[in-house]
Amino acid sequence: MNKFILVIFSLFLITCGYIVSLVPVTDILKLKNGYVLKSYDKEKGITYTVVDKKPRSWIKLNRIEKKSYSAIVISEDWSFYTHDGVDFNQLTEALEDTLKGKRVRGASTISQQVVKNLFTNGERTISRKIRELLGTLFLEKQLSKDKILETYLNVIQYGDGLYGITNASQFYFKKNASKLSVKESAFLAMLLPSPVRYSQSFREKKLTDYAENTVNTILDKLAVAKYITKNEAVKLKNIRLSFEKSLEFQDLVDYFDSL
Report all structural domains of the chain as residue ranges with CATH numbers, in order of start. Answer: 24-257 (1.10.3810.10)
Burial of 75 (0-12, 13-18, 19+ CB in 10 A): buried
Tens-digit pLDDT profile for residues 180-210 = 999 999 999 999 999 989 988 888 888 889 9
Tens-digit pLDDT profile for residues 156-166 = 999 988 999 99
pTM for this entry? 0.83
**Cβ neighbours of residue 152 under 8 Å, at least 6 residues apart?**
110, 113, 114
C-alpha 158/C-alpha 150 separation (Å) is: 15
Residues of the chain predicted below pLDDT 70: 1-23, 44, 90-107, 122-124, 127, 245-259
Q: Which amino acid is at 80?
A: F
How high is the pLDDT of residue 45?
74
**Cβ neighbours of residue 51 under 8 Å, at least 6 residues apart?**
34, 35, 36, 37
C-alpha 98/C-alpha 203 separation (Å) is: 32
C-alpha 245/C-alpha 188 separation (Å) is: 17
SS3 194: coil
**Cβ neighbours of residue 87 under 8 Å, at least 6 residues apart?**
77, 79, 107, 109
